[in-house]
Chains A and B, each alone.
Chain A
Amino acid sequence: MLNVIWLVLLASGIIIAAINGQVEVATQAALGAARGAVEVCFDLIGIMALWLGIMRIGERAGLVEALARALRPVMSKLFPSVPAEHPAMGAIILNLSANVLGLGNAATPFGLRAMQELQKLNHKSEEASVAMCTFLALNTSCITLIPATIIGVRASFNSADPTEIVGPTIFATACAMTLGVTVDYLFRTRSRWGRDDRAD
């Protein structure tokens, strides 16, 4: 499916640019984005190093494990295929907590760490496991208590109440999260697509 989405985005973009008689726009966009992607990754190196370093201290002090133990009842319902003691659980909890607090730059390192741990449990190295799908469903629809960036933008345009959108945002995200988790649950319990051991 990803192959189709990728091709549609790219091909429809080029064809429409050509129809509009400005095909060179596609060239600029493609080359600029390729360069920009590497910049994003380079920005990530330092932030990744910082948070993975801090996380390792937390792991060796037993903090991450303690967190995972406290949330065990919820986590084992959401991730039945991951052993309760597995280090992936701690990383997932850290990632989701960082998301809730709006700490976007800490969320990514924790999340990538969680993916590495989940990949160790994955039988097919190029295909997402059920646990990964659940994790990303939670991650992409996660509630943010403090949408700091947009509050900043509103304040910079002299809004009378920059934070008035926090309530509506939490409501809308809660709806998104409920449906995301439900759809994921239906996939992994009701569909053949949601079984890790299915034959292709």
Chain B
Amino acid sequence: MLIDVLTVISRWAIPFLLLVIPVYGFLRKVPVYEAFIEGAEEGFTTAVKIIPFLVGMLVAISVFRASGAMESLSQLLGPALRTIGTPAEVLPLAIMRPLSGSGVLGMATELMRTYGPDSFIGRLASTMQGTTDTTFFVLTVYFGSVGITRYRYSIITGLTADITGLLASIYICNLLFR
């Protein structure tokens, strides 16, 4: 029931906004097309401004991931996480979660292909994938768009949330799906 409601919302959200905002604007006597163009003009400059920041961050993450450094790290962290109910197969996904959105989606897909979506591994990987965001990507893009290079304590806050999200995923999946 709840799921049906959520599916309807996700199908309708974008068309709804694209319909209601311009119609409401028109009724309030806003020159809607002109206003649209005026706002849209900013899209290009903002997107271009992000390029250097994103190149810097994605290159470092990609080298780290491709080199096998990640496997070494998951071997290091493996024993600790296994004691709290995490299968070793899910570890690389947990480590990559804050770093790379597309990378993690690829890993989750791979785990489900191998173990099936309804296995414990498949369910845990799905939950981790849906929990929290790719913190480093968001920080890079958002701060980059306004030229900020000193992130202050926001990395600590973001990583705290990520780690909490991962541990909570492990906890709830062990509770519900074991």
Contact = CB atoms under 8 A, between A and B. Distances in A.
Contact of A115 (B130, B146, B173): B146
Contact of A160 (B22, B108, B118): B118
Main secondary structure of the interface of A (DSSP, over half): helix
Contact of A183 (B7, B57, B156): B156
Contact of A132 (B39, B123, B154, B166): B154
A62 B28 contact: yes
Contact of A144 (B61, B62, B130): B130
Contacts of B123: 164-165, 168
B10 A102 contact: yes
A187 B157 contact: yes
B90 interface: no
Interface size class of B (residues with CB under 8 A): 35 or more
B67 A13 contact: yes
A61 B165 contact: no
A30 B156 contact: no
A49 B37 CA distance: 8
Contacts of A80: none
A43 B52 CA distance: 15
B129 interface: yes
Interface in A143-188: 144-150, 153-154, 157-169, 171-173, 175-180, 183-184, 187
Given A63-B24, A142-B133, A176-B168, A55 B39 contact: yes
A45 B47 contact: yes
A179 B47 contact: no
A197 B156 CA distance: 21
A57 B165 CA distance: 36
Contact of B25 (A46, A57, A111, A136): A57
Nearest to B27: A61
A177 B128 CA distance: 14
A53 B69 contact: no
Given A57-B21, A153-B108, A52 B153 contact: no
B40 interface: yes
Given A13-B60, A144-B130, A166-B6, A159 B117 contact: yes
B81 interface: no
B154 A137 contact: yes
Contacts of B38: 53, 56
A110 B159 CA distance: 23
A9 B61 contact: yes
B172 interface: yes
Please provide the 9 A-B residue pairs with the shortest distance between their CB atoms, ordered closest to farther.
A56-B39, A49-B43, A180-B161, A48-B43, A176-B165, A147-B130, A33-B62, A53-B40, A17-B67
Interface of A: 1-2, 5-6, 9-10, 12-14, 16-17, 20, 22, 25-26, 28-30, 32-34, 36-38, 40-42, 44-50, 52-63, 101-103, 106, 108-109, 111-113, 115-116, 118-119, 125-128, 132-133, 136-137, 139-142, 144-150, 153-154, 157-169, 171-173, 175-180, 183-184, 187, 191, 193-194
Interface of B: 3, 6-7, 9-10, 13-14, 17-18, 21-22, 24-25, 28, 30, 32, 35-44, 46-48, 50-51, 54-69, 72, 105, 108-109, 112-113, 116-118, 122-123, 126-133, 135, 138-139, 141-143, 145-158, 160-162, 164-169, 172-173, 176
